[in-house]
Amino acid sequence: MKLGFLTACLPESDLTDIAHWAASRGFEALEVAGWPSPDDRNHIRVDRFDDAECSRVGRIFAESGLTLSSIAYYENNLHPEAGPQVNAHVRRCVDAAAALGCPTVGTFVGRDPGLSVHDNLKRAADVFGPLVEYATRHGVEIVIENCVMKSWHPDGYPGNLAYSPELWEWMFTLGLKLNWDPSHLVALGIDPVAALTPYIGNIAHVQAKDTQILPGRIDRYGFHGPISGEKGWYRFRVPGLGQVDWTRVIDALHEGGYDGVVSVEHEDAVWSGSTERVQTGLGIAYRTLRHLVRG
């Protein structure tokens, strides 16, 4: 295994600077943000990917010695209006990944909130069938993060239909793989290790994020959280500052034969607000995981 992080937490930094800092701190891989402009999470300019951009990114990874583990573009592929544009950008991410020798592209299944889950799954099969076929022809796998994305539904229901093992099994029938993140399972009352173990062979990438349960808040709001816009009963933290048992998680990955990248996804509000604070948060994650993620 190799230890890395997702660059989206440093949108103000250039990829060269991120790679230099990551390598100097002992990280071995980067999962690189590839959103289109005007989004500033675009450390790889997939929306204008040409020979010069390919050479630039390739040179950064060659000089730093880091592994490019995935190109990240996490948007709603089933959005009723924007879906086709999202699908098209996923294809551009696949093109860039193939040119750079990157094995995976990460995205969300998403959801049309105006349709039932059953109808969404039928639409998803029609959308992802061609995307998976396109990626396969280019030697790239599409990986789906198991994030709930409640903010994508007006009533706070799951907005990304990839949140449970039941839905993972459905995704695998389409040829999709999993970018497995234990933090979202904690927030659903699912034991991450119990959910992980049967599916390790379908995991092509791992994200490392933690979940902190906020004492007493679930007694006011219940499992589904507040309707008032207030903070809910949990929040995301960097690994080591929440409830995830990282020793059990990484041990289960080792035992199951996973030998890919474990990529820290920094969404910790405590360690945000400046480049220095984000880097401190990444350092906490590194110290938590380094002795577990053995190369």
pLDDT digits (tens, 9 = 90+) for 80-124: 999 999 999 999 999 999 999 999 999 999 999 999 999 999 999
- Report d(CA 42, CA 194) in Å as an integer: 35
Query: Which is it for the CA torsion 58, 59, 65, 71, positive or negative?
Result: negative
Residue with tokens 């190799």: 2
Give 89's Cβ-side CA count (13 Å radius): 25
Show Cβ contacts of residue 218 under 8 Å, excluding neighbours closer than 6 positions. Answer: 233
Tell me what the mean pLDDT of segment 207-227 comes to: 89
Domains of the chain: 2-289 (3.20.20.150)
Q: Where are the alpha helices (DSSP H) in 161-217?
A: 165-173, 182-186, 192-196
pTM over 0.75: yes
Task: Decide: 5 and 19 in contact? Cβ < 8 Å.
Answer: no
Distances in whole angstroms, Cα of residue 276 to Cα of each of 36, 75, 204, 279, 282:
25, 27, 31, 5, 10
Picking from 172, 236, 248, 239, the residue whose alpha carbon sits closest to that of residue 203 is 172
∠ CA(186), CA(187), CA(191), 5° rounding?
Answer: 25
What is residue 231's predicted lDDT score, i.e. its pLDDT? 76
Q: Are 106 and 71 in contact (CB under 8 A)?
A: yes
Q: Please write the tens of the pLDDT for every residue from 27-51.
A: 999 999 999 999 999 999 999 999 9
Q: Which helix (H) or strand (E) holds 6?
A: strand 2-6
3-state secondary structure of 209: coil
Local confidence band at 229 (pLDDT 50, 70, 90 cut-offs): low
